[in-house]
Structure 1
Amino acid sequence: MGDLYITRLHEITIVIYAASVLLYFIDFLNSNRRANKIAFWLLAFVWGFQTIFLLFYMVDKGRFPVLTLFEGLYFYAWVLVTLSLAINKLLKVDFIVFFTNILGFIIMAIHTFAPVQYDSNVMSEQLVSELLLIHITMAILSYGAFSISVVFSLLYLIQYDLLKRKKWGKLLWRITDLTKLDYWSYILNVIGVPMLILSLILGLQWAWIKVPDLAWYDAKLIGSFIVLAVYSIYLYLRVGKEMYGKSLALWNVASFLIVLINFFLFGKLSSFHFWYQ
């Protein structure tokens, strides 16, 4: 029973860590100090849990827990979180903080959901099932963000066309102004991209455990990385190239079409995502 509670606490820590990474990504793109502050305190919470678990392992094993692979992974994750907090507080280098946390999340997820560290086969199977559940939930949340984002882009294109043709009617006034439509479409993609990244990290770990003969050229897997690539390009065009307006809205619509192709078509062609069959 004690192992079950510890496992649940590890899973809660992973979820909090994911929220921290999401906020750090928002700060990374927009220099949002409020997001950075919340992310810092969430990460501090993760560090506190990690430190308690580390001390618990030391007392339980009667030594410093680094002599096995999984003990070493946990200590490595703790070191990364510690360094990330220090860099965030002392150096204020957002680029390093974000990518350090991505690496830390990967290591933490590998340690938390690796079934070989549990003596009970039932607990191992349950943990792997929960890993799959978290992966699917994050993927659906990211797709949800992309879906609402494309609605804003479509409204942007409709509003743009009405203004260009000088169609002054009720529809024009019921749709909000172009600036807000463009902004919220962007914000939702800022949320969707890191959620998709974290989902792919957890999904690849699940596949590594449950599908040892996985073909890495699988249609669904390639499609998911294409989706990540096109939305990453969207963010680059918006932040790096400062592209706004109709061109970016069209890119967003085209990106969502790839999401639909990946979800419906590639899901059917995949041997990896067999629960879609």
Structure 2
Amino acid sequence: MFDQTMTRLHELIIVLYAISILFYFIDFLNKNQKANQFAFWLLAIVWVLQTIFLFLYMFRTGRFPVLTIFEGLYFYAWVLVTLSLGINRLLRVDFTVFFINVIGFIIMAIHTFAPVQIGSQANAEQLVSELLLIHITMAILSYGAFSLSFVFSLLYLLQFKLLKEKKWGQRLWRISDLSKLEKISYISNAVGVPMLLLSLILGVQWAFIKLPDIIWYDPKIIGSFLSLILYSIFLYFRVRKNMFGKSLAMLNIAAFLIVLINFLLISRLSSFHFWYS
């Protein structure tokens, strides 16, 4: 009963941690104070749950949980969350907070989904299956965000063409203005990129557990990381290089085509794909 409760607690922590990182990423891009506050309070909940687990574990074992590698990983993750909260409140170094939490999420995922720490083989298999489920769900949600961004980029190009050709028909007025189309496209990608990043982190963790002999240059794996890189380049050009307009929309469309190729075509050619069944 205790092990089941701890397993569910860990899974809840992973989900809340992922959402917190998502909002920290939004703040990282746009200096959004509301996103920062929401991320902070979610992270505070994560810290409270982690702290509860630490005390429950110490009460059950009668010792401080640092004597094994998996206990050490959990305590390390707790320390990173504690430092992140402190930095966010005291030093206000927001970029540092985001990257610390990405590291903390990786450590927490390794600890949570490593079957070595789980008492029974049945529980281990169930947890690994749930890890795969979370990985796939987050990947599909990120693809949904990229799809939305793709649609708005297409509408941007259409609206741009109509304005350039001075076609003042009904179609022009039914499509939103260029700035709004571009903004929604950008926001969608800003949501999709951290979700895909976290999904790939969990996917790599699952592969290490389930497929120790996996070929890491498999087309599916390369395609997934290529998609992440392309969308990260999109955000970099948008935020750091102040790129706007048609060029950015074309880059976004190209990135989405890579996602489609990876999802529909490369998956059929990949040996990695068949391990999901």
Which range, TM-score by smaller chain? Answer: over 0.9
Could you tell me which residue of structure 1 aligns to residue 252 of structure 2? Answer: 252
Could you tell me which residue of structure 2 aligns to residue 8 of structure 1? Answer: 8
Q: C-alpha separation between the residues in 1 aligned to 2:135 and 2:276? A: 15
The Cα RMSD (Å) is 0.9
- Once the two structures are superposed, the pairs formed by residues 104-253 of structure 1 within 5 Å of their partners are 104-253=104-253
- Extract structure 1 runs of 4+ deviating beyond 2 A: none
Partner AA of 1:162 in structure 2: L
1:2 Cα deviation after fit:
2.4
SS for the counterpart of 1:258 is helix
Q: C-alpha separation between the residues in 2 aligned to 1:149 and 1:275? A: 30
Matched, 1:55 2:55: yes
SS for the counterpart of 1:273 is helix
1:275 Cα deviation after fit:
5.3
Could you tell me which residue of structure 2 aligns to residue 28 of structure 1? Answer: 28
Deviation digits for residues 107-149 of structure 1, max 9, x if unmatched?
Answer: 0011111111111111100000000000000000000000000
Could you tell me which residue of structure 2 aligns to residue 96 of structure 1? Answer: 96
Q: How many residue pairs get matched?
A: 277
- TM-score norm. by structure 1 comes to 0.99
- TM-score norm. by structure 2 comes to 0.99
Q: C-alpha separation between the residues in 2 aligned to 1:24 and 1:194? A: 10
8 Å Cα contact 1:267-1:276 kept in structure 2: no
Identity level (%): 71
**Higher deviation after alignment, 264-273 or 69-78:** 264-273
Q: C-alpha separation between the residues in 2 aligned to 1:269 and 1:52? A: 46
Partner AA of 1:94 in structure 2: D
1:276 Cα deviation after fit:
6.9
Deviation digits for residues 40-95 of structure 1, max 9, x if unmatched?
Answer: 00000000000010111111111111000000000000000000001111111111
Partner AA of 2:50 in structure 1: Q
